[in-house]
Amino acid sequence: MAKRALITGITGQDGSYLAEYLLDLGYDVFGMVRRSSTENLERIDHIKNDIEFMQADLLDQASLDKAMDTSRPDEIYNLAAQSFVPTSWSQPVLTAEFTGLGVTRILESMRNFAPEAKFYQASSSEMYGKVREVPQNELTPFHPRSPYAVAKAYGHHITVNYRESYGLFAASGILFNHESPRRGREFVTRKITDGVARIKLGMAEKLALGTLDAQRDWGYAGDYVRAMHLMLQHDQPDDFVVATGQTHSVRNFLEVAFNHVGLNYEDYVVQDPRYMRPAEVDQLIGDNSKARQILGWEPTVSFEQLVTMMVDSDLQLLGG
Ligand code: NAP
Ligand code: GDD
């Protein structure tokens, strides 16, 4: 019998890659979507007929219970969240509700309706924030720097707590930034590649950004969803850092993206205080040795390949 997977956040970047991956492996995929006045299936349009959709919301326990009871999943991937860091300062309580307490609601549903299932929590390298050591591993203490990161730290700890309290198979993947042509346009990588494509095609003149000095360990989302799946195939629930082990600044990203179309970023980029954050995470770099050794996972897409893939995709989308 085919395995059954329930994915929350299936309309997001990671949800779309994970759904593709699990369908290819022969899973029955159940996708949780929240009610909207307009359809929001752009990223999964090509596979939507293969997915069984269920309407539910992280704020609504009854809807989560119904989704869990109907899908009776073998594996649950909790990817849904308010995931944009700047919004967490303007909507801190909502972010805590979705990104923090939402995890407890899902775990409670699992405990009541699918206690034998395996659970994956989408934890984040943002939890390391003002980093305590370099590189960061599974034992590095957290120092969150945004309401989003605080909520994710809660989500991580409640996942570990339900594992320890109730013996649930609950794994936490501490994923560093991962990007793709399907990344939301408000995140810096996609904002840059979309901006580069617009400038190259004569549709824009400038690109306004915040800090260019922040450094991130950027990987490819398609690689990272494989790690999520591997965590749930392991014989015991655990925490895993998923990262490339390399870090680059926003400025490095700009150089590669603009160079790819024969332009110099310094001629186009302006800094705008509106995009500066009240508290910044200056540098993230992950130690992926545990995932490599125990899960046999490794990234396959280099930084340069990632940047150029995203620029080429945006050029094509805009008709270039
Ligand atoms: P994303 O593109 O922003 O997708 C977020 C998903 O959550 C969307 O499907 C969204 O649905 C759904 N959602 C938001 N609020 C919800 C609610 N109240 N009820 C039900 N669904 C809700 O995020 P992503 O980049 O794919 O990331 C997936 C997860 O990994 C997130 O939890 C994120 O915080 C975490 N993470 C991401 C990264 C990264 O670099 N991408 C790194 C570490 C951790 P709508 O389409 O309806 O808005
Ligand atoms: N979004 C954005 N827009 N970021 C900018 C800009 C801008 O105009 N200019 C500079 N940046 C800087 C931010 O200040 C930050 O230091 C860096 O670029 C990356 O910002 P984002 O792409 O918004 O990602 P993030 O690192 O804050 O958060 C992402 O990664 C986390 C994992 O570490 C999100 O995907 C989170 O959901 C995820 O948990």
Domains annotated for the chain, with CATH where assigned, are 4-178+219-242 (3.40.50.720), 184-216+247-284+302-317 (3.90.25.10)
The preferred substitution site among 185, 188, 191, 270 for testing ligand 2, maximizing ligand atoms within 8 Å of CB, is 188
Which residue's CA lies nearest to atom 20 of ligand 1?
A: 57
Query: Measuring from each residue's beta carbon to the nearest atom of ligand 1, which residues come in under 6 Å?
Result: 8-9, 11-15, 34, 36, 40, 57-59, 79-83, 98, 122, 124, 175, 177-178, 184
Specify whether the CB–CB gap between 67 and 30 falls below 8 A. Answer: yes
- The Cβ-side half-sphere exposure at 284, using a 13 Å CA radius, reads 29
* Catalytic residue status for 124: yes
The Å distance, Cα 11 to ligand 1 centre, comes to: 8
Ligand nearest to the CA of 9: 1
State how far the Cα of 156 lies from the Cα of 127, in Å rounded to an integer: 9
Q: Which residues of the chain have pLDDT under 50?
A: none
Q: Tell me, what's the pLDDT at 293? A: 98
Catalytic residue among 148, 154, 162, 265: 148
192: its two tokens: 């840059």
Q: Tell me, what's the pLDDT at 320? A: 75
Q: What is the pTM of this model?
A: 0.99
Ligand nearest to the CA of 182: 1
State how far the Cα of 40 lies from the Cα of 35, in Å rounded to an integer: 10
CA of 58, closest atom in ligand 1: 19
In degrees rounded to 5, what are phi and psi of residue 295? -100, -15
* Catalytic residue status for 20: no
Catalytic residue among 16, 83, 124, 125: 124
Which residue's CA lies nearest to atom 8 of ligand 2?
A: 209
Q: Tell me, what's the pLDDT at 16? A: 99
